[in-house]
Amino acid sequence: MILQRLFALVLLAVCAALAVMAWPYQAAFSYEPVGPRAYPLLMLGLMGLGLLYLAIRPTPIVRKDDEPELDRATLIKIAVCVGLLIVFAATFESLGFVLSAILVGVPMARLYGGRWLHSAIVVVAMSLFLYWLFDRVMDVPLPLGLLDVLEN
């Protein structure tokens, strides 16, 4: 338990140091309204909150299977995950965010035990919501790809 808390505190210090390093960063040009430092600071803040919880939680997290065995099924699942992420990166520009997220999201959900219908509904809804969130709310342009005919 003491090692878990110590590890969380060390990582919390690393997050704080990285946040101090990222705070003054200013890019010469920026096409995003929030600027290039917002994402790292947001991620470091979320990591810091999680690490702070791990450092002060009342009881240690104990599991029977702390380190699951790397058997053949797990290695295949990891390889398929990496392959799907490569497909996403390869199709991101040509198909656009929404279609490539759907193309990769449904098999990814199925890989982790989702049913076909539920996977398809959730992935399509999340893809559309995330596109709307980035494009309209945060003003970060994402490619539409084949769906650019729908844009006004």
Answer yes or no: is pLDDT of 151 > 70.
Answer: no
- Give the pLDDT band of residue 105 (cuts 50, 70, 90): very high
Longest alpha-carbon distance in the chain? 58
CB half-sphere exposure, 93, CA atoms < 13 A? 1
Pull the structure tokens for residue 78: 């990891």
Domain ranges of the chain: 2-56, 72-150
Distance of CA 62 to the CA centre of its chain: 26
pLDDT at residue 103 in the model: 93
Predicted pLDDT at 33: 64
Measured CA to CA, the distance from residue 137 to residue 30 in angstroms comes to 17
pLDDT tens per residue across span 117-142: 999 999 999 999 988 888 887 777 78
Q: Which amino acid does the sequence have at 8?
A: A
Of 149 and 8, more confident: 8
For 119, other C-beta atoms within 10 Å of its C-beta total 19
Express each pLDDT in 57-80 by its tens digit.
877 666 666 666 778 888 899 999
Q: What is the pLDDT of residue 106?
A: 94
Instruction: Give backbone dihedrals phi and psi of 142, rounded to 5 degrees, phi first.
Output: -115, 145
pTM: 0.58
What span, in angstroms and rounded, lies between the C-alpha atoms of 54 and 5? 7
**What is the C-alpha to C-alpha distance for residues 130 and 148, in angstroms, rounded to an integer?**
16
Q: How far apart are CA 146 and CA 126, in angstroms?
A: 18
**pLDDT tens by residue, 7-37:** 889 999 999 998 888 887 776 666 666 666 6
> What pLDDT is attached to residue 11?
92
Nearest CA to 17 among 39, 38, 47? 47
CA–CA separation, 75 vs 70, rounded Å?
Answer: 6
